[in-house]
Amino acid sequence: MQNQSENQYKIIGVDDEPGVLDSLSVFLKRAGYHFSGFTDPLEAIEKVKTEHFDLMILDYIMTPVHGDQVVEEVRKFNKDIYILLLTGHKDLAPPLETIRKLDIQGYCEKSDKLDQLLLLVESGIKSISQMNLIRKINIELKDTYEKLEQSYMETIETLRLAVDAKDVYTRGHSDRVSEYSVLIGKRLGLSEDDIKTLRIGGLFHDIGKIGVPDSILLKDAKLTDDEYSQIKNHPSIGAHILSTATIFSNIIPIVKHHHEKYNGTGYPSKLAGESIPYHARIAAIADAFDAMTSKRPYRDEIPLEKVKEEFRNLLGIQFDPEIGKVFLDILDHDYNEIMRIQSKYYSQL
């Protein structure tokens, strides 16, 4: 039986191999989606101009134009459509810079088995659903600033609780990251506006995990490379979800870049040093600290002295060295504040 909530979503497929489109059509329609396929990429571009589609699946190597050229044309008039790129082989995928520039949400290799693609489609649909919800709220509540502020907070609370509720082991994580971030921000002497950004950004930093399949998010065993790649998509998914509402613009850098590393080896953008947004550098420290000091299915919480040792070793590698030193000073001299936060949220589990 088709899922009624999925029937509203329309997918367009673009591939110059009719057999691929036939397979996609059967597979996606069976999964409950509306699907239209095109072998001519230029015709597909014109179709997107005149008809609404939520998600596009397209091949990279095509004639007369490649997939990245299709995306470049589509992005000139449509910034919202969610795009998944198919490649015959991962070595033939476009450069990472191109994927970022054109706002391509994901790509995968072609395969006779379409299960991996369906997972990406399902993640995309979840993201689109949240974008539509936020857009609707933003339009409906434009009339008054007070209503917008109230809705802003209620939306944050609803969506981030949906993420926290997925896993008992991470419940309360976003609350604690928010409060740790505020604690660091105050110690740094930041403005009230900055503190508010850190508070809301911390609450919302993992919202992109709503687009990650539960089978991956809740897996006890070690993740495969493909599964870890999907986990690593959550900052970009979160930023994409929030991009439709201007009221979220201040916190998007936190959501998108809280897994960047100071030496440039993080994700999703491999930013380094001061190229990483300042608020994201603060949230990254708060996020890592909570991960280290929280119990997981596969390990107990790490002792405080070991945590401090890890932080000292990672200054200038994973963490901003100046912000990291401020946080270490908090751990050394004001750990009662950390304990207050932990006591507040762990007691609610």
Active site residues: 209
Q: Taking the alpha carbons of 32, 125, 62, 52 in that order, is the dihedral positive or negative? A: positive
Secondary element (H or E) of residue 13? strand 10-14
Sheet with 10-14, edge to edge strand ranges: 34-38, 10-14, 55-59, 82-87, 106-109
Residues whose CB is less than 8 angstroms from the CB of residue 68 and which lie 6 or more positions away in sequence, other chains included: 60, 85, 94, 98, 102
CA dist list (Å): 74 to 33, 42, 59, 87, 129: 22, 10, 14, 19, 21
Query: Residue 124's CB: how many other CB atoms inside 10 A?
Result: 24
Alpha-helical regions (H) of the chain? 18-30, 41-50, 67-74, 96-101, 115-140, 145-164, 173-187, 192-204, 214-217, 225-231, 234-242, 252-257, 278-292, 304-314, 321-333, 335-346
Max intra-chain CA distance, the chain:
66
Report CA-CA distances (Å) from 303 to 169, 269, 314, 324: 17, 31, 17, 18
